[in-house]
Chains A and B, each alone.
Chain A
Amino acid sequence: MIVKQHADAAQEFIKDEARTDWHDETLWFVRNKRDKAVNTLPEWEILREWASHIKDHTLSNLDHYLKSFEEKAVENGIHVHWAATAEDHNRIIHKIIADNKIDKIVKSKSMLTEECHLNDYLQNKGIQILDSDLGEYIVQLRKETPSHIVLPAIHLKRQDVSETFHEHLNTEKGNYDPQYLAGTARHYLRDRFIEAELAITGVNFAIAESGGFVVCTNEGNADMGVHSANIHIACMGIEKIIPKAEHLGVFLRLLTRSATGQPITTFSSHFNKPRSGQQMHLVIVDNGRSRQLGRPDFRNSLKCIRCAACFNTCPVYRRSGGHSYHSTVAGPIGSILNPNLDMKANSDLPFASTLCGSCSNVCPVKIDIHDQLWKWRQEIVANGYVGNGKKVGMHGMAWVLTNPKIYRTVGRIGRWVMRTFPFILNNKLNPWYKQREMPQAPQKSFRDWYKENQ
């Protein structure tokens, strides 16, 4: 399959201008909700600082915390598995399913299982998983992937959902009422929860001191599955660890306010031990995270708590859509995480940014996202993963900008050309002309003006 580069996919996305505007406004609405929630807490900046330091500390002692977490979890009766790669993760889960001869599986939202392509892996072995988060369920029915890590179906309008449900759940054609559509899905999925034999969830936070873990949802789908089924598999990246339960206070206060503007999710479930007769498994996944930990410029990205505030605020994400990023985690944070997974395949992503810095400003754990985007660009160029056009252009630019005389001459010629023969630049061959008017060229440069007026 040929994966379109971000810029090409974005070009497709923005062809429908009305829909692009709608997408932009919908996400900006979420960003505004975040601002309102944040402004109710005078200590917001202190919380971000604490969260950032807790994560820095945890990463600097991660091997010890992982061991402590494992030890306590095992004491609590949880089966702990370690997966170095996505393939290991999928194989471990498949083995649990096969050993227990399971065929009814529900899964709540877990971006890690998406990252590992668990659904496809199991499907190839003839095993179906039902995604139970409403947004994920919708995209699963449409054979799409989530376009946003918190709002998986944010790229869809109610009319799209209505058509999908009409086809799969036999809802009334043309009924676009969200209450009706969500109600029908509730009804259908309730039966799936009740018959579920195995439930897969993600993990929001794993507590090293107790071996417990926390899963946050608004819908209650994780709990409906887990408490119905006899087997629970929770999947977590190694960076989900926090040292103590008291640190949950900091992170739960930040997470949903940053994500959706809610003060907390409806359900914050704290799992410590399996219930009587239940099997509980934890799969701890590396999949490139330890490598990222070893890159001083980029290790900070492992502090991410997956709130997606950086998506909602990003002018590029809002106007290009999540699928343009051809990755599970899109948006600014995805653009600094994905090059670690596959630098060549994701070499376009750090360029899908204006470097405006808004992502870093809203990040609840203070990841320097825009700095890392800029650093990845250099890394990618140094590794030879940019096109020749960009390379030649940049070299030419550097040459002009470091030679003042040439710069002034080129500037003079450029201004004259723009004034005298505007069609030379105002045409389709000039990428800067695309969707833009070229500016009016001034008579003289700022330097000349300054010399005359100082």
Chain B
Amino acid sequence: MGNRETILQAVASNKPDLLALPDMDFSLTIQYPDLLDQFIKMVHAAGGQAFYKNGNQELQNDLASVKAEGKFIINLLEENPAQDWAALNALELETLDTCYLRADLAVAENGAMWISETRMANRLIPFICQHLVIVLNPAVIVNNMHEAYQQLNVSAEGFGVFIAGPSKTADIEQNLVIGAHGARSLRVYLI
């Protein structure tokens, strides 16, 4: 008998009698009077920056100033991508400075934003970039994770990720250091 059968048989004979799944009433979960305000607070709490007033103008300024520095940027907000980003490997993306992309859903309770594989073009991009810029329509902010999973089909694509803030670590004596292995900063433009 192979491992698979051994394990499944042991589980089948050792499991208890069937117990029911709970009836979850999500109306009992937290709702915020002002979703946008709560979301922005949580982005800041997670170490990111959020721009709401003149979001579009601020974004254009952001793009212009990073471009002026002559660094490697990937702008996934453009309709026609400058090149096939999906084909790039880690070595080719190593010097990526700033990436701009769109999130399709955001969560007020924790500041997390859902980035689908389509939106990121290449799975490595949102992680290997030094700075991450996410553009978001304030209308897609939901209260909490239950609402998020009700709206999303997380298995629609091969990969997807909730991102809340820049990468961080507190592994040295519980001191918060922003910029562990992923992006060192996160800017969110609400447009």
Q: Do A and B bind each other?
A: yes
Query: Residue B82 at the A interface, CB < 8 A?
Result: no
Instruction: Say yes or no: is A448 at the interface (Cβ < 8 Å to chain B).
Output: no
- B64 CB–A CB distance under 8 Å: no
Known: A41-B30, A60-B18, A294-B13. A182 touches B160 (CB 8 A): no
- Total interface residues in chain A, CB < 8 Å: 96
Mark each residue of chain A from 374 to 404: 1 if its CB lies under 8 Å from any CB of chain B, else 0. 0000000000000000000000000000000
- A279 contacts chain B at the CB level, 8 A cutoff: no
Q: Are B173 and A178 in contact (CB under 8 A)?
A: yes
Q: A228-B90, A253-B145 are in contact. Are A88 and B112 (CB under 8 A)?
A: no
A258 proximal to B (CB < 8 A): no
Contacting pair B7 A212 (CB below 8 A): no
Contact indicator B170/A238 (Cβ below 8 Å): no
Cβ contact within 8 Å between B181 and A221: yes
In-complex Cβ contact of A219 among B12, B110, B168 (8 A): B168
Residues on A with C-beta less than 8 A from B50 are none
B contact residues around A151 at 8 Å (CB): 170-171, 174
A267 touches B163 (CB 8 A): yes
Residues of chain B in range 143-175 having any CB-CB distance to chain A below 8 Å: 144-146, 148-150, 153-155, 157-175
Of all chain A residues, the one with the shortest Cβ separation from B17 is A60
Write out, one digit per residue, whether chain A residues 112-151 have a CB within 8 A of any chain B CB (1) or not (0). 0000000000000000000011110010000000000001
Count how many chain B residues have C-beta atoms less than 8 Å from C-beta atoms of the other chain.
Answer: 75
Task: Evaluate whether A249 and B144 lie within 8 angstroms (CB atoms) in the complex, with A182-B172, A268-B161, A275-B158 already known.
Answer: yes
Closest chain-B Cβ to A212's Cβ sits at a distance in Å of 5
Per-residue CB contact flags for chain A residues 37-68 toward chain B (1 = under 8 Å, else 0) read: 00001110011011001101101111100110
Q: Report chain A residues within 8 Å CB of B145.
A: 248-250, 252-253, 264
Q: Bound state CA distance, A53 and B24, in angstroms?
A: 10
- Given that A62-B11, A134-B169 are contacting pairs, would A53 and B21 also be in contact in the complex, using a CB cutoff of 8 Å? yes
How far apart are B157's CB and chain A's nearest CB, in angstroms? 7
B46 adjacent to chain A (CB < 8 Å): yes
Residues of B within 8 A of A53 (CB): 19-22
Does B29 have its Cβ within 8 Å of any Cβ on chain A? yes
B42 within 8 A of partner (CB): yes
Say yes or no: B91 contacts A82, CB within 8 Å: no
A341 at the interface (CB under 8 A from B): no
Would you call A60 and B19 a contact (CB within 8 A)?
A: yes
Contact with B4, one of A82, A196, A211 (Cβ below 8 angstroms): A82
Please name all residues of chain B whose beta carbon is closer than 8 Å to the beta carbon of A266 when the two chains form the complex. Answer: 46, 163-168, 182
From A215, which residue of chain B is reached at the shortest CB distance? B161
A-binding residues in B (CB < 8 A): 2-4, 6-8, 10-22, 24, 28-30, 42, 45-46, 86, 89-91, 94, 107, 109-112, 122-124, 127-128, 144-146, 148-150, 153-155, 157-175, 177, 179-183
